[in-house]
Chain A
Amino acid sequence: MRIVVDLNRCLGYAQCVPLAPDVLRLQGEEALAYDPNPDDSERQRVLRAAASCPVQAIIVELDPPADRTTK
Chain B
Amino acid sequence: MTTASLVSDLVTSFKTTARLVIVGASLAGLRAAEALRDEGFTGSLTLIGDEVHEPYDRPPLSKQVLKGWVPAGNTKLPRMRAVDADWRLGVAAIGLDRANREVLLANGEKVPYDRLLIATGVRSRQWFNPDEAKLAGLFTLRTCDDAAKLQEALQAKPGRVLIIGAGFIGSEMASVCRDLGLEVTVAERSTAPLVGALGGVIGDIAAKMQRDAGVDLRTNVSVEALEGDAGGHVRRARLSDGTALDVDVVVASLGSIRNIEWLDGAQLAAGFWGVACDAGCRAFDINGVVTDTIFVAGDIARAPHVLYEYQFLSIEHVDAAVLAAQTAAHNMVNLETNRRPHLPLPQFWSAQFGVNIKGVGVCSFGDEIVFTQGSPEDHRFVAAYGRKGRIVAAVTFNHGKWLDYYAAMIERSAPFPPPPPGYDLPTNAEPMPARFRDPREPTGLPDVVLTGHDPTSRGAEFRPKRPKSGDPNS
**A interface list, Cβ under 8 A from B:** 2-4, 6-8, 10-12, 27-31, 33-37, 59-61, 64-68, 70
Q: Can you add 5 more A-B contacts, CB < 8 Å, to A2-B76, A28-B354?
A: A28-B353, A28-B356, A29-B355, A33-B60, A35-B70
Q: Does B398 contact A (CB under 8 A)?
A: yes
The 7 closest A-B pairs by CB, nearest first: A28-B354, A61-B78, A65-B82, A31-B351, A31-B356, A2-B78, A37-B74
A/B interface sample: 12 pairs, CB < 8 A: A8-B358, A10-B400, A29-B380, A31-B354, A33-B69, A34-B64, A35-B70, A35-B74, A36-B76, A61-B78, A65-B79, A65-B82
**Residue contact B318 to A29, C-beta cutoff 8 Å:** no
The contact of B76 among A27, A31, A37, A59, by CB within 8 Å, is: A37
A29 and B356 contact, Cβ closer than 8 Å, known pairs A8-B349, A11-B400: yes
**Residue contact B351 to A64, C-beta cutoff 8 Å:** no
| Bound-complex Cα distance A67 to B33 (A) | 13
| Bound-complex Cα distance A29 to B379 (A) | 11
| Bound-complex Cα distance A35 to B70 (A) | 6
**Residue contact B356 to A36, C-beta cutoff 8 Å:** no
Q: Does B63 contact A (CB under 8 A)?
A: yes
For B339, the chain A residues whose CB sits under 8 A away are none
Q: Does B373 contact A (CB under 8 A)?
A: no
Q: Which of B349-368 contact A (CB under 8 A)?
A: 349, 351, 353-356, 358
Q: Closest CB-CB distance, A32 to chain B, in whole Å?
A: 8
- Chain B, interface residues (CB within 8 Å), range: 35 or more
Q: Which of B314-349 contact A (CB under 8 A)?
A: 318-319, 347-349
For B64, the chain A residues whose CB sits under 8 A away are 33-35
**Residue contact A11 to B63, C-beta cutoff 8 Å:** no
For B84, the chain A residues whose CB sits under 8 A away are 67
Number of inter-chain CB pairs below 8 Å:
88
For A7, the chain B residues whose CB sits under 8 A away are 59, 349
Q: Closest CB-CB distance, B185 to chain A, in whole Å?
A: 23
Q: Does B388 contact A (CB under 8 A)?
A: no
Q: Closest CB-CB distance, B315 to chain A, in whole Å?
A: 12
A2 and B77 contact, Cβ closer than 8 Å, known pairs A8-B349, A33-B351: yes
**Residue contact A30 to B75, C-beta cutoff 8 Å:** no
**Residue contact A36 to B83, C-beta cutoff 8 Å:** no
| Bound-complex Cα distance A3 to B75 (A) | 9
Residue in chain B with minimal CB distance to A59: B78
Residue in chain B with minimal CB distance to A35: B70
**Residue contact A12 to B60, C-beta cutoff 8 Å:** no
| Bound-complex Cα distance A27 to B358 (A) | 14
Q: Closest CB-CB distance, A24 to chain B, in whole Å?
A: 11
Q: Does B216 contact A (CB under 8 A)?
A: no
Q: Does B54 contact A (CB under 8 A)?
A: yes
For A31, the chain B residues whose CB sits under 8 A away are 351, 354-356
**Residue contact A30 to B76, C-beta cutoff 8 Å:** no
For B403, the chain A residues whose CB sits under 8 A away are 11
Q: Is the interface of A mostly helix, strand, loop or mixed?
A: loop
Q: Closest CB-CB distance, B111 to chain A, in whole Å?
A: 19
Between B69, B83, B353, B358, the greatest number of chain A beta carbons within 10 A of the residue's beta carbon is seen for B358
| Bound-complex Cα distance A8 to B80 (A) | 19
For A65, the chain B residues whose CB sits under 8 A away are 79, 81-83
| Bound-complex Cα distance A36 to B60 (A) | 8
Q: Closest CB-CB distance, B175 to chain A, in whole Å?
A: 9
| Bound-complex Cα distance A12 to B399 (A) | 9
For A30, the chain B residues whose CB sits under 8 A away are 356, 398, 400-401
Q: Does B57 contact A (CB under 8 A)?
A: yes
For B69, the chain A residues whose CB sits under 8 A away are 33, 35
For A61, the chain B residues whose CB sits under 8 A away are 78-80
Q: Closest CB-CB distance, B458 to chain A, in whole Å?
A: 28
Q: Which of B53-76 contact A (CB under 8 A)?
A: 54, 57, 59-60, 63-64, 69-70, 74-76
Q: Does B85 contact A (CB under 8 A)?
A: yes
Q: Closest CB-CB distance, A62 to chain B, in whole Å?
A: 9
**Residue contact B319 to A8, C-beta cutoff 8 Å:** yes
Residue in chain B with minimal CB distance to A2: B78
Residue in chain B with minimal CB distance to A13: B401
| Bound-complex Cα distance A7 to B356 (A) | 10
- B 382-418 to A, binary, CB cutoff 8 A, 1 in contact else 0: 0000000000000000101101000000000000000
For A2, the chain B residues whose CB sits under 8 A away are 76-79
| Bound-complex Cα distance A61 to B78 (A) | 5
| Bound-complex Cα distance A70 to B349 (A) | 30
For B80, the chain A residues whose CB sits under 8 A away are 59, 61
**Residue contact A8 to B318, C-beta cutoff 8 Å:** yes
For A59, the chain B residues whose CB sits under 8 A away are 78, 80
Q: Closest CB-CB distance, B144 to chain A, in whole Å?
A: 11
For B380, the chain A residues whose CB sits under 8 A away are 29
Residue in chain B with minimal CB distance to A26: B356
Q: Closest CB-CB distance, A60 to chain B, in whole Å?
A: 7
| Bound-complex Cα distance A29 to B354 (A) | 7
Residue in chain A with minimal CB distance to B175: A27
For B85, the chain A residues whose CB sits under 8 A away are 67
